[in-house]
């Protein structure tokens, strides 16, 4: 059990080094997708510019100690991990109650107390492109169990995870027995025993999912060389000790990319330097701000100081206490010490009145009213009560008297007990506490001895249970690993825990803690926890001191910050502030009769300029179809004129550097008066049945100022003229109505249009024609439909038949026929789903089915007892429906009460499962589908398949290659895509090469040098599945070319010039020679010249002989050899030259004459 005491290590370190800062590490909450509504452009909401997002700079005193979630325990490391990775479950940090929510898990259900089924979200990728699925989830949980060595059987050299104690049951058995894969996106976790906080435990960073492609299976991520690869909103970039930690936005994030492009944790250990950096604007959010600067910052409009505890009553979950050795001091002494402890002085003076709130047990008010027992308000400082306990126990004489006088000499001189007090030197609070304890406890005859030691020495005692008797009184703190009251109490009070430094051993308390962890009913568990808080306060196992208050400090332009009692920091989805909301009005008439009016709007706070937009329909978003009238104006009005008859819609958008905010949308109706104006209106039925007759009314009105004659009228249905008429005369303001009886014969869309020809001098013609579209659809709710369900309320179940009888095409009689009970019946409009005459109430929406054209995100009203609730489609599910097969379901969640859920089959929209809680959770009502005569569309799951290529490796040398892929089961066709980088999803940046392919290969050609990425999508009517992404590298070597020379045959002097044609794609050339014919390039060739960049080469005075030459063209991808040229160098024999002998004779005679002359001169000289 020794390793379990490491539980306190992060808490001790955190408290030891931050208490002097006056505030513990403040955390930034993670928010839900619903908090990112500002990315959309609904009327009146804000739009932030992701493309313009900058760096979010966070100042912190902590660096990174562990990169691996399995081994991480300190807040600094967990802060890093929370930005990058995610778990199956999390908390809703936008809700102060911190309800648990699904994160990478889409749904879950308990088969029993020890078997948990989890449906995972699909379509999620890790930062390295690895898909998240059941195999990956199992791999992560198996890796956690292995590194935590929960079975104790591992004998390798890898150390046991520091947080292994979290994954052990109270009896020291592993919590998780095994994890099974039950589908591509389904896992089943088997526990060894009931463990009620298990889902909360899965919220802790230990259980965050990492990519198996980038993470060692049997060792930890190395702090300096490892790469933390998760599914979260940011990628981990770098850690420079004592400098910073850097992250980048993950644009493939499955929810929505972060507003900020980069995130930086600036590590500034000194609190003063960190606070000064924040004041200078160098950081945006500060963790551990000096409390002495709160008032200054609070007065600055550019800085937000959020006093969370003061505003909400929610304190930090951290618990600070004075430990009392329960082995040495019984409950009497502990109560005496508790009543003599001056809590008010501690809070008001030592904690400055704002830094802490009173603790009455380890459970903080931050746990919320369901867990925290607010009725426990004892003990309080009461010196007389403390003295009375000592007198009643016979420890002090009755003659002392139980009074409140701190100067009472009898008590001051009494020497009833001597205790040592331990704390760490350098922690000002713990040093100051020694001084006040010596004074307070002297009032009750207790002598407190100074035993302050260094932090290392103190920590050594706290980590060594055999040394706990060295501690008598000592001050320390504790914080939860996850949001669980049990996690706050069991480690501190369980005698088997290595964190129980006070050596508490109370059989009742131990039994109750074991019962809590085995109790899965949240209501019963809450009652047990509240009862234990009373018992703990009564027994005074510790002197319960305080819970820190929570104060967050950041720049005011940061929005989306959710403040929470867990003090977790997550940068997602914080954003910078767009302009505030504002409203738009106009001075136009109703209707406006001259087409000239002014738009007027309020000033939006933080706006720098405005744009005005116009459209022909209500504007709920800014897109390409909306007309921009003017932009970047700073005034608050705009005058418009020359508007003709019609309805016009306007919005104004306020801008600043961080985003934009849309005003309300207003309509201006212009109804001009003309000399000549014939106006036409058309009345058609809203809903139609085939085979029934309906009357179409067309009214022709003279709205001009002159009587008109010979007005020609035409009525068309789908471009066929079905009625025409000429009106002889039509006086001013008179109306002529034409009636036409129409009987539609088929389902489909009908365009009914009417028009009149222009009368003489009529200039305004927009109201001379009008059209109506009528869509006659085949309603999936058909005459004779029945749905059989099992209806359950509480413990009572009954078989129920829901039947439909057609009244008109859109009006049906809906009957509920419970087995052995009377039939209940009402009408329902199948186009609106509104029930008429329902016993639940009027104008409620039916439970039995939803529209078949629904999609994820849609909000659908559904009756919950006697009122409508808005349900949102939050996901879908492939479900094996008993007796039917694989069907696709929509999953809906009640926005008013997330406990309420419903499942509907997609193709028919009929109910499959409906589970609600009413009357504050007191009653549970559910419907379970059993049978129907509706025809479901069955899911044809696409099978995995792989893409390959016959391209040469590592480079394809001709730019022509064939892509081929294995078949995907149930695929109807395939689409082929290409991109310039690795493809992880299909979006607008990806190039579609071909679609609706039915073959399993595709030939590509004429590709030039470069890297190309290909992916194939298998398609059917239900789904699309992607193959692996394949990279093909093309590097084309030089092309063919021809070599020639100027040499004679044979060449008499060895002087000649080589020339050659250009080789396509060649960068340079080399010339080689051989004594043999050259058919290939090899090492036997003699290099004459290298790196030639021209198309010729001259050789002079080449030696005689027969030689063979080639040119080799080269580039980075290869080489190409030219044709081989043979050259013969042969200098002629002089004896074969004509006249050669005569020349020799002349030369000999000439030489002889010269000699004779020279001799004669010598003789004469003598």
pLDDT of residue 770: 94
Does residue 781 surpass a pLDDT of 50?
A: yes
| 3-state secondary structure at position 1012 | strand
Task: Find the mean pLDDT for residues 937-947.
Answer: 87
pLDDT of residue 1: 28
Nearest to 216 by CA among 156, 281, 291, 292: 156
Split at pLDDT 50, 70, 90, the class of 942 is: confident
Nearest to 966 by CA among 982, 949, 978: 949
Task: Find the mean pLDDT for residues 469-476.
Answer: 96
Nearest to 969 by CA among 916, 1018, 908: 1018
Average pLDDT, the chain: 88
User: What count of other Cβ atoms lies within 10 Å of the Cβ of residue 1123?
Assistant: 14
Split at pLDDT 50, 70, 90, the class of 808 is: confident
Question: ω before 43 within 30° of 0 (cis)?
Answer: no
Split at pLDDT 50, 70, 90, the class of 12 is: very low
User: Do 977 and 1017 meet the contact criterion of CB atoms below 8 Å apart?
Assistant: yes
| 3-state secondary structure at position 433 | helix
Split at pLDDT 50, 70, 90, the class of 1134 is: low
CA-to-CA distance for 822 and 674, rounded, in angstroms?
A: 66
User: Do 48 and 560 meet the contact criterion of CB atoms below 8 Å apart?
Assistant: no
CA-to-CA distance for 798 and 818, rounded, in angstroms?
A: 7
Q: Indicate the pTM of the whole model.
A: 0.54
The token duo for 1040 is 């063919």
Does residue 126 surpass a pLDDT of 50?
A: yes
pLDDT of residue 1135: 57
pLDDT of residue 1141: 58
Residues 605-651: tens digit of each pLDDT: 889 999 999 999 999 888 888 999 999 999 999 999 999 878 999 99
User: Do 714 and 724 meet the contact criterion of CB atoms below 8 Å apart?
Assistant: yes
Does residue 30 surpass a pLDDT of 80?
A: no
Percent of the chain at pLDDT exceeding 70 = 92
Which range is least confidently modeled, 405-419, 596-610, 834-848?
A: 834-848
Burial 694-720 (b: 16+ CB within 10 A, else e): eebebebbbbbeeebeebebbbbbeee
Give me the numbers of helices (H) and strands (E) for the chain, helices first please.
Answer: 17, 64
Domains 318-548 and 578-670 fall in the same CATH topology? no
H or E stretch covering 1096:
strand 1096-1099
Does residue 866 surpass a pLDDT of 90?
A: no
Split at pLDDT 50, 70, 90, the class of 780 is: confident
pLDDT of residue 775: 81
* Assigned CATH topology for domain 2-311+566-575: D-Maltodextrin-Binding Protein; domain 2 (3.40.190)
CA-to-CA distance for 182 and 276, rounded, in angstroms?
A: 55
CA-to-CA distance for 595 and 643, rounded, in angstroms?
A: 4
pLDDT of residue 839: 84
CA-to-CA distance for 1134 and 1128, rounded, in angstroms?
A: 19
Task: Find the mean pLDDT for residues 1102-1108.
Answer: 93
Helix 522-539, helix 507-518: angle, nearest 10: 160
Q: What is the maximum span of the chain, computed from C-alpha positions, in angstroms?
A: 170
- Residue with tokens 């039947």, as numbered in its chain: 803
User: Do 549 and 357 meet the contact criterion of CB atoms below 8 Å apart?
Assistant: yes
Split at pLDDT 50, 70, 90, the class of 1146 is: low
1065, 1070, 1076, 1078: CA torsion to nearest 10: -10
pLDDT of residue 621: 87
Does residue 52 surpass a pLDDT of 60?
A: no
* Assigned CATH topology for domain 947-1034: Immunoglobulin-like (2.60.40)
Which range is least confidently modeled, 37-41, 209-213, 755-759, 888-892?
A: 37-41
Q: Which CATH superfamily is domain 1043-1132 in?
A: Immunoglobulins (2.60.40.10)
CA-to-CA distance for 130 and 73, rounded, in angstroms?
A: 27
Domain chopping of the chain, boundaries: 2-311+566-575, 318-548, 578-670, 678-776, 786-932, 947-1034, 1043-1132, 1139-1165
User: Do 866 and 841 meet the contact criterion of CB atoms below 8 Å apart?
Assistant: yes
Question: ω before 1050 within 30° of 0 (cis)?
Answer: yes
User: Do 43 and 651 meet the contact criterion of CB atoms below 8 Å apart?
Assistant: yes
Which range is least confidently modeled, 148-162, 199-213, 250-264, 861-875?
A: 148-162
User: Do 1056 and 1046 meet the contact criterion of CB atoms below 8 Å apart?
Assistant: yes
> How far is Cα of residue 594 from the mean position of the Cα atoms in its chain?
52
pLDDT of residue 21: 24
Split at pLDDT 50, 70, 90, the class of 162 is: confident
CA-to-CA distance for 413 and 1070, rounded, in angstroms?
A: 108
* Assigned CATH topology for domain 578-670: Immunoglobulin-like (2.60.40)
The token duo for 701 is 């009105």
Residues 342-364: tens digit of each pLDDT: 999 999 999 999 899 999 999 99
Does residue 24 surpass a pLDDT of 60?
A: no
Options 3.20.20.300, 2.60.40.180, 1.10.3720.10, 2.60.40.10; CATH of 678-776: 2.60.40.10
Evaluate whether the domain defined by 318-548 bears CATH number 3.10.105.10.
yes
């Amino acid at each position: 059990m020794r390793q379990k005491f490491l539980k306190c290590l992060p808490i001790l370190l955190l408290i030891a080094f931050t208490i002097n800062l006056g505030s513990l590490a403040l955390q930034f909450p993670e928010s839900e997708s619903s908090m990112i509504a500002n990315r959309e452009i609904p009327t009146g909401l804000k739009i932030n510019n992701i493309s313009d997002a900058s760096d979010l700079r966070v100042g912190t005193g902590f660096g990174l100690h562990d990169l691996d979630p399995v081994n991480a325990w300190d807040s600094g490391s967990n802060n890093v991990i929370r930005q990058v990775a995610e778990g199956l479950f999390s908390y809703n940090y936008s809700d102060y109650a911190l309800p648990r929510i699904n994160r990478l898990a889409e749904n879950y259900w308990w088969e029993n107390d020890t078997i948990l089924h989890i449906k995972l979200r699909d379509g999620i990728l890790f930062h390295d492109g690895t898909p998240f699925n059941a195999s990956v989830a199992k791999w992560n949980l198996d890796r956690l169990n292995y590194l935590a060595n929960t079975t104790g059987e591992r004998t390798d050299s890898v150390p046991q995870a520091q947080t292994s104690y979290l994954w052990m049951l109270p009896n020291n058995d592993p919590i998780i027995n095994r994890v099974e894969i039950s589908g591509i996106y389904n896992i089943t976790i088997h526990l060894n025993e009931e463990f009620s906080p298990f889902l909360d435990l899965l919220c802790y960073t230990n259980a965050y999912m990492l990519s198996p492609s980038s993470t060692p299976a049997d060792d930890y991520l190395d702090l300096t060389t490892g790469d933390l690869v998760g599914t979260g909103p940011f990628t981990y970039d770098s850690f420079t000790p004592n400098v910073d930690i850097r992250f980048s936005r993950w644009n493939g994030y499955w929810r929505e990319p972060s507003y900020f492009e980069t995130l930086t944790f600036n590590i500034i250990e000194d609190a003063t330097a960190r606070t000064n950096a924040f004041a200078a604007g160098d950081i945006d959010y500060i963790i551990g701000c000096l409390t002495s600067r709160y008032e200054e910052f609070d007065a600055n409009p550019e800085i937000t100081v959020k006093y969370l505890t003061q505003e909400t009553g929610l304190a930090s979950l951290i618990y600070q206490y004075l430990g009392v050795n329960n082995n040495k001091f019984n409950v009497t002494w502990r109560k005496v010490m508790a009543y003599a402890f001056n809590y008010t002085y501690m809070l008001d003076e030592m904690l400055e009145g704002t830094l802490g709130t009173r603790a009455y047990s380890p459970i903080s008010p931050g746990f919320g009213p369901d867990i925290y027992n607010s009725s426990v308000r004892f003990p309080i400082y009461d010196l007389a009560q403390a003295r009375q306990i000592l007198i009643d126990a016979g420890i002090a004489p009755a003659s002392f008297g139980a009074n409140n006088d701190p100067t009472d000499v009898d008590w001051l001189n009494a020497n009833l007990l001597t205790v040592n007090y331990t704390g760490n030197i350098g922690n000002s609070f713990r040093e100051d506490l020694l001084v006040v304890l010596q004074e307070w406890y002297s009032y009750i005859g207790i002598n407190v001895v100074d035993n302050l030691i260094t932090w290392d020495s103190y920590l050594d005692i706290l980590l060594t249970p055999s040394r706990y008797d060295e501690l008598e009184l000592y001050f320390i703190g504790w914080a939860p690993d996850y949001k669980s009251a049990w996690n706050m109490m069991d480690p501190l009070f369980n005698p088997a825990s290595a964190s129980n430094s006070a050596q508490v051993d109370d059989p009742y308390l131990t039994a109750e803690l074991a019962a809590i962890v085995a109790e899965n009913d949240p209501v019963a568990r809450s009652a047990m926890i509240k009862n234990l808080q009373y018992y703990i306060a009564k027994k005074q196992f510790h002197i319960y001191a305080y819970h820190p208050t929570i104060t967050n400090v950041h720049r005011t332009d940061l929005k989306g910050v959710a403040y929470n009692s867990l003090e977790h920091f997550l940068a997602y989805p914080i954003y910078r502030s767009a302009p505030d909301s504002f409203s738009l009005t106009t001075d136009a008439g109703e209707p406006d009769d001259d087409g000239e009016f002014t738009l007027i709007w309020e000033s939006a706070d933080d706006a720098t300029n405005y744009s005005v937009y116009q459209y022909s329909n209500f504007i709920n978003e800014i897109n390409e179809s909306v007309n921009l009238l003017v932009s970047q104006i700073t005034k608050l009005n705009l005058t418009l004129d020359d508007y003709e008859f019609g309805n016009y819609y306007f919005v104004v958008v306020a801008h600043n550097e961080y985003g934009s905010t849309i005003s309300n949308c207003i309509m201006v109706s212009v109804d001009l008066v003309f000399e000549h104006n014939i106006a036409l209106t058309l009345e058609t039925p809203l809903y139609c049945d085939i085979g029934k007759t309906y009357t179409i009314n067309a009214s022709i009105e003279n709205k001009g100022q002159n009587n008109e004659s010979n007005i020609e009228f035409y009525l068309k249905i789908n471009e066929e003229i079905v009625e025409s008429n000429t009106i002889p005369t039509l006086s001013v303001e008179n109306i002529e109505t034409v009636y036409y009886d129409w009987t539609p014969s088929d389902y489909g869309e009908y365009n009914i249009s009417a028009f009149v020809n222009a009368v003489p001098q009529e200039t305004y013609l927009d109201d001379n024609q009008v059209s109506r579209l009528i869509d006659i659809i085949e309603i999936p709710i058909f005459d004779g439909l029945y749905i059989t369900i099992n209806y359950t309320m509480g413990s009572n179940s009954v078989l129920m038949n829901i039947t439909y009888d057609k009244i008109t095409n859109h009006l049906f009689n809906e009957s509920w026929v419970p087995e052995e009970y009377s039939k209940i019946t009402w009408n329902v409009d199948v186009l609106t789903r509104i029930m008429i005459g329902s016993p639940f109430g009027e104008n409620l929406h039916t439970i039995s089915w939803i529209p078949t054209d629904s999609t994820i995100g849609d909000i659908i009203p559904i009756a919950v007892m006697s009122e409508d609730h808005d349900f949102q489609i939050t996901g879908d599910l492939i479900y094996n429906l008993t007796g039917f097969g694989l069907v696709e379901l929509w999953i809906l969640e009640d926005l008013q009460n997330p406990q309420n859920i419903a499942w509907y089959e997609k193709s028919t929209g009929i109910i499959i499962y409906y589970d609600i809680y009413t009357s504050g959770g007191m009653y549970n009502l559910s419907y379970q589908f059993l049978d129907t005569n509706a025809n479901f569309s069955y899911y044809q799951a696409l099978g995995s398949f792989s893409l390959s290529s016959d391209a040469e490796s590592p480079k394809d040398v001709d730019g022509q290659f064939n892509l081929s892929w294995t078949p995907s089961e149930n695929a109807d066709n395939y689409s082929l895509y290409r991109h310039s980088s690795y493809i992880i999803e299909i979006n607008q940046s990806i190039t579609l090469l071909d679609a609706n392919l039915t073959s399993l290969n595709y030939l590509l050609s004429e590709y030039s040098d470069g890297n190309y990425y290909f992916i194939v999508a298998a398609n059917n009517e239900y789904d699309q599945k992607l193959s692996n992404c394949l990279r093909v590298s093309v590097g084309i070597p030089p092309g063919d070319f021809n070599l020639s020379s100027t040499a004679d045959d044979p060449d008499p002097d060895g002087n000649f010039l080589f020339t050659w044609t250009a080789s396509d794609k060649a960068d340079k050339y080399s010339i080689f020679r051989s004594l043999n014919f050259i058919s290939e390039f090899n090492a036997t060739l003699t290099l004459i010249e290298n790196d030639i960049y021209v198309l010729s080469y001259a050789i002079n005075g080449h030696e005689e002989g027969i030689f063979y030459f080639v040119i080799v063209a080269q580039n980075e991808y290869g080489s190409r050899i030219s044709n081989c040229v043979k050259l013969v160098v042969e200098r002629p024999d002089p004896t074969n030259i004509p006249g050669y002998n005569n020349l020799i004779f002349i030369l000999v005679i000439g030489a002889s004459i010269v000699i004779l002359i020279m001799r004669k001169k010598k003789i004469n000289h003598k």
